[in-house]
Amino acid sequence: MKKTTGLLLTGSASVLHLHADAPKSIENLKIRTVNIVDLMRESEEGVKITAELENMRLQLTQELKAAEDDYVKQANAYQEKAKTLSAEAREKEQSRLMDKRRDVESKAQKSEDKLKYTMQAATERLGQKAQTVVAAHAKENGLDIVFDTASGRALWSSEKTDLTKSMVSSMNTNYKTELAQAGKKEATQVASAGKTGNKTAA
């Protein structure tokens, strides 16, 4: 099992957009940054979670090592007495050891999965709390955008910065232009076909 120390914080949470009252002007935007990875990791809860995860990792590692040592011990014992056993007894013992090896491998995978899922759940929970704090601070201080320096994404933005409606209008204008151009092209093709047809008939 790979050694994991600390939280897997990168990419931990989706972008949170909580819109404040839209300012009238789009000039002089108030932009701030925060490193959400450091925010989560250095908070008291983050430090506690990191310690708990490390303790879990150590415990799972110790349990897995004990299981592996037991398997090796039994495998060595079999090798020492194999020549004295009958063919049937050897086959039975080999089958038992194979089952034991599979149990150890299964335990290793379960331990890895347990640590991974526990870490993900803790990270998501702490990430939501961190974003709530960021959003509250942004609204209280009249900020327009707060960027996460760890990912480059916006953690919070006001309606003042949202261009969606104007972009929809631009998309619609471009679409109408395309339709108009397609209509003219089709009319030209029909006219050309008509002229060719008349010449053939003549």
Q: What pLDDT does 93 receive?
A: 95
Q: What pLDDT does 70 receive?
A: 96
Q: What pLDDT does 201 receive?
A: 54
The pLDDT tens digits of the residues spanning 84-101 come to 999 999 999 999 999 999
Low-confidence winner among 42-46, 101-105, 177-181 (lowest mean pLDDT): 177-181
Inter-residue long-range contacts of 162-165, CB under 8 Å, 24+ positions, other chains counted: 162/19
In Å, how far from its chain's centre is CA 2? 19
Instruction: Answer yes or no: is pLDDT of 194 > 90.
Output: no
Q: Which H/E stretch holds residue 133? A: helix 87-140
Higher pLDDT, 188 or 94: 94
- What's the first-to-final CA gap in the chain, in angstroms? 86
Sorted by sequence, the CB contacts under 8 Å of residue 61 that are 6+ apart come out as 1, 3, 111
Provide, rounded to the nearest whole percent, the portion of the chain with pLDDT above 90: 70
Q: What pLDDT does 159 receive?
A: 87
Phi, psi of 33 (to 5 degrees): -130, 155
